[in-house]
Structure formats: C-alpha cells, structure tokens
Amino acid sequence: MKSYLALVAAATATPALAQQAPCELHVWPAERMTSITTGWLGGGLIEAAINSKKDANNKAQLASALDSPTQLDALQSLDLVSLLKLPAGTTIVRHETPVERHTMNKIKTRRAESTAACYNELIVADVFYQKAAIYGRSLRTLFLFREFGADQKIDYEFKAWGGNGLKLFPPKKDEDATPALEELSVVFKKNFEEYAAKVKKAPGA
C-alpha cells in the first residue's frame, strides 16, 4: 500500500515540478553603434562630410564605453525579471557576442540552444548617439524582446526605442572623459526602463 501511495504522489507532483522549472531570459548586446551630428541644415551630405571626423570619434567612444560586457552588466544591474514581467526565478543567460545586425529580423527561431519550455530573448539592436541643433544631445537604444512557447515559435515580440538626453557626452577636448563615458551607461539603463514600460502593453500582448 505504501509503495502504491508513493507512486501516486510522485505522479501527482510531476506536473507541478514541470511548471516550476525555471524560465530563461537570454540577453545579447548590440553590435552596431551610430553617431549622427546635424546642425541647422538638418543633415544631408554636406553636414555629414563636415561632421564625419567628429562622428567617427563619438562612435569610437560609444563602442569603448558601451562594449558588450558593459551593456550586459548595465542590464543585469536592473531587475529584468520584474521589468519584463517574467515569472519569478527566471534565469538570466548572458551572451557576450553581439547579434549580427543584419540577422535581427530574419531569424524566427530560438537563437540559443535550450530545452526550456519557458524561453525568452532580449536583444540590444542599436545604440545611437545624436546631436541635433534643436533637440540637443541624446542617446537612443533599440531593444527587441521575444517570448517563445514550447513549440519553438514566437508567442510575443516587441521592438522599440528608448531614448534620453545627455548632458556630459561627448567630453570636451582636454577634460576628464570619465564622467561623460559613465553617463552613457546611466542613460543606457534609463533607455531600457523606458522601453520595458511599454512591453506587453502594445496590441497583441
């Protein structure tokens, strides 16, 4: 009798244990960094040529200050599970190698090998610095979040920008660049929080 009851208990517990299996959130940093400086002409080839050296320098500083580990560290310093409304106990899985930008929308299957029934992806698609004559300096970041079901198909997908102003970046010539570069990480996190507030509120969520 005891052995029979033990089998019944085990059979009853199996679905519950399966439901409690940890979800996964796989996170990738951005590959592409962009800097665009426009004046009162509003852009165009002439302004692009005038500001090409400045934008190249800004892009290099972006890539240094927001390299792959820094992007991932910044995101992991936030409560990603709560912000993305994921089940408690979701495991965060880092991927140090950025997603190739041209494959962003082409791949519709899971990017990482995983057998988890509850599987999610967060991809940083673009990091974009802009200085405009009217709007000033800002950092914008494009994020992509995807949820997969056990059938390996996308159940939910949301891509959008988060953007906030900058006060210190880019650093002036001959000044300590540290505060300006640290500001990028702070604003990068604000951009994600702005983006995450929209997740699962869009039509189809």
In a domain? residue 204: no
In a domain? residue 201: no
CA distance linking residue 164 with residue 192, whole number of Å: 10
In a domain? residue 51: yes
In a domain? residue 113: yes
For residue 205, pLDDT over 80 is answered with no
More confident residue, 50 or 161: 161
Q: Domain count of the chain?
A: 1
For residue 179, pLDDT over 70 is answered with yes
In a domain? residue 16: no
Mean pLDDT over each residue of the chain, to the nearest integer: 85
* Complete DSSP assignment for the chain: -HHHHHHHHHHHHHHHHHHTSPPEEEEE---EEEEEE--TT-SSHHHHHHTHHHHHHHHHHHHHHT-HHHHHHHHHTS-HHHHTTPPTTPEEEE--SPPPGGGTTT--S-SS----SSEEEEEEEEEEEEEETTTEEEEEEEEEEEEE-TTSSEEEEEEEEEEEE-SSPSPPTTS--HHHHHHHHHHHHHHHHHHHTTTTTSTT-
What pLDDT score was predicted for residue 200?
Answer: 84
Q: How confident is the model at residue 41 (pLDDT cuts 50, 70, 90)?
A: low
In a domain? residue 131: yes
Task: List the domain range (segments joined by +) for residue 44.
Answer: 22-196
pLDDT tens by residue, 83-103: 999 999 999 999 999 999 889
In a domain? residue 11: no
In a domain? residue 39: yes
Q: How confident is the model at residue 16 (pLDDT cuts 50, 70, 90)?
A: very low
